[in-house]
Amino acid sequence: MKESILKTDGLYHVYESKAEDGNVVALRGLHLDMKEGEAIAVVGPSGSGKSTLMKCLGGLMKASAGSVSLAGKNMTRLTGQELVELRQKTVAFIFQEGNLLPNMNARDNVAQPLRHQGVASRKALKLADAMLDQLGMVHRAHALPMMLSGGEQQRVAIARALITKPRLILADEPTGALDPVTSREVLALFKDLHENSGVSFLIVTHSKEVAAFANRSLELRDGRFVAEHGANVDVEDLGKDRELIIDETGTVTLPPDLLVRIGGAGRYTVGNADSGYLSLQGEAVEAMGKMELASACPACKHAYDGTEEQLCPSCGSSRPMVEVKE
């Protein structure tokens, strides 16, 4: 059994407000157990609490109630310096807006986390050059953030996050500012780190392509996990936040939104009864499919004939990924 890299127990966060509507409850008793080397996607609409969750999980924001443990250490009980040291050794952040230091060029931005860890500047810069080269940005190493496009800034931010070889990466829409081809290159890098180096990923995303990279996806709505998709489902992550009612006749009543998510009324089979919990299985249950390169260009209908081309040779359109149900 792998150790937990990130764990929450009854996580709440309340934004206090003197407005007429009163305080805003952003997170409502979340339970999460993320294993070492696992990749999890958090999906949900705007305002569901995703950004607040990311900040609480990374120790950038203190939870109102409950606990967050990173690499086996309860962050709510650490001093400020202990928390900084734990984050430096364990986790890296990738924010949607990049958050680069405006007065440093790309090379220095990427090298800065290593300098904070005591690595000599010359060595840090050499490693930064190698990481920028891996992300196709070495030719822009001396450019200030204001001289970079949104996509270029995001690639520098990703390089900065990866430079310390973290055990866990917390990413908020990491490919949101990237074009489709660059997005796939970044996802390929993430996949390599995940599969070959055991790096854990927790990614907030609206992209099916990014979500398909994860081992499982958690759906967050109104501060609660309301559904989970993917392989190796652990119902304990969701069970404490959901409710179902079984009457004397054996009729099961599900919350309406959950009934919609599994495909509505219909005939289902029950599996895993011997394991201590029940799992509904049926054709209507939503499942995560694989993402594959489209076989034909949606713009001009050019057939790719099994090639790995990323751009259509006929019209120049980016080749999309399509979901394939297994």
Query: What is the domain partition of the chain in residue ranges?
Result: 4-218, 243-281, 293-326
Q: How far is CA 29 from the centre of its chain?
A: 20
Is the CATH number 3.30.930.10 carried by domain 4-218?
no
238 closest CA partner among 253, 228, 230: 228
The pTM assigned to this predicted structure is: 0.69
Q: Residue 126 has what pLDDT?
A: 94
The rounded distance, in Å, linking the Cα atoms of 304 and 51 is 39
Query: What is the maximal distance between C-alpha atoms in the chain?
Result: 73
Q: Are strands 4-15 and 168-172 parallel, antiparallel or unpaired?
A: unpaired
User: Do the beta carbons of residue 282 and residue 263 sit within 8 Å?
Assistant: yes
Q: Residue 84 has what pLDDT?
A: 84
- Could you tell me the strand order of the sheet in which 91-94 lies? 91-94, 168-172, 200-204, 39-43, 216-221, 224-230
Is the pLDDT at 2 greater than 70? The verdict is: yes
> What pLDDT digit, counting tens, does each position of 149-208 carry?
878 888 898 899 889 888 999 988 887 777 888 788 888 888 888 888 888 999 988 777
> What pLDDT digit, counting tens, does each position of 158-173 carry?
899 889 888 999 988 8
Q: Residue 275 has what pLDDT?
A: 47
pLDDT band at 236 (very low <50, low <70, confident <90, very high): very low
Q: Residue 309 has what pLDDT?
A: 82
Q: Quick one: tokens of 299?
A: 């713009």
Looking at per-residue pLDDT, the higher value among 103 and 17 belongs to 103
Looking at per-residue pLDDT, the higher value among 16 and 103 belongs to 103
The rounded distance, in Å, linking the Cα atoms of 310 and 159 is 23
Is the pLDDT at 260 greater than 80? The verdict is: no
Q: How far is CA 64 from the centre of its chain?
A: 23
State the DSSP H helix or E strand holding residue 193, giving kind and residue range, or none if neither: helix 180-196
Burial category of 326 from C-beta neighbours within 10 Å (exposed 0-12, middle 13-18, buried 19 and up): exposed
Residue with tokens 């854990």, as numbered in its chain: 200
Q: Distance of CA 28 to CAs 122, 200, 326, Å?
A: 46, 24, 34
DSSP assignment of 105-124, as one string? Answer: -HHHHHHHHHHHTT--HHHH
pLDDT band at 250 (very low <50, low <70, confident <90, very high): low
Looking at per-residue pLDDT, the higher value among 282 and 49 belongs to 49
Question: What 3-state class would DSSP assign to 73?
Answer: strand
- Could you tell me the strand order of the sheet in which 24-35 lies? 24-35, 4-15, 65-70, 73-74
pLDDT band at 285 (very low <50, low <70, confident <90, very high): very low
Is the pLDDT at 273 greater than 60? The verdict is: no
Section 4-18 average pLDDT = 86
141 closest CA partner among 108, 179, 170, 118: 108
Sequence-ordered list of residues with C-beta below 8 angstroms from that of 196, at least 6 positions apart, any chain: none
